[in-house]
Amino acid sequence: MKRLNTLLILLPLFLLIACNKEDSSPLVAFFSDIYDAAIPIEGNKEIYLTVTVITNGVHINKITLESNDKTYGIQQVIDSVPDIGTNDTRKINLKYKTHYYAEETMVTLTSRVFTEEGEMMEIKKYLAVKPSDISWNLQESVTMYSAGSSRKYGFSIPQMTTVFPEIIDNDTLLFYDRAHEDEEQKDAMTNSWESRTGIYFARFESLDFSNSNIAAIEQAYNLSARDNVILDIKANDLLIFGSKKDVYGLIKVLLTIDDEGHENDRYVFSIKCRKDIFVE
Residue 18 has pLDDT above 90, yes or no: no
Q: Per-residue pLDDT averaged across 164-170, rounded?
A: 84
Residue 270 has pLDDT above 60, yes or no: yes
d(CA 217, CA 263): 35
DSSP-assigned letters across all residues of 88-142? EEEEEEEEEEPPP-SS-EEEEEEEEEEETTS-EEEEEEEEEE------EEEEEEE
Give me the pLDDT at residue 215, please: 87
Residue 280 has pLDDT above 90, yes or no: no
**CATH assignment of 25-129, among 3.90.420.10, 3.90.550.10, 2.60.40.650, 3.30.1490.20:** 2.60.40.650
Do residues 117 and 59 touch, judged by C-beta distance below 8 A? yes
Q: Per-residue pLDDT averaged across 53-63, rounded?
A: 93
Domains of the chain, by residue range, sit at 25-129, 136-274
Tell me the percentage of the chain whose pLDDT exceeds 70.
88
pLDDT, tens only, 121-134: 999 999 999 988 88
Q: Per-residue pLDDT averaged across 218-228, rounded?
A: 91
d(CA 173, CA 186): 25
User: Mean pLDDT, the chain, as a whole number?
Assistant: 86
Q: How far apart are the first and last CA of the chain?
A: 88
Give me the pLDDT at residue 260, please: 81
> What SS3 class is residue 46?
strand
Give me the pLDDT at residue 44, please: 87
* Sign of torsion over alpha carbons 218, 33, 79, 25: negative
Look at 30 and 181; give whichever has higher pLDDT.
30
Give me the pLDDT at residue 160, please: 93
pTM of this structure: 0.69
Residue 278 has pLDDT above 70, yes or no: no
Look at 255 and 188; give whichever has higher pLDDT.
255
pLDDT, tens only, 76-120: 999 988 888 889 999 999 999 999 888 899 999 999 999 998 889
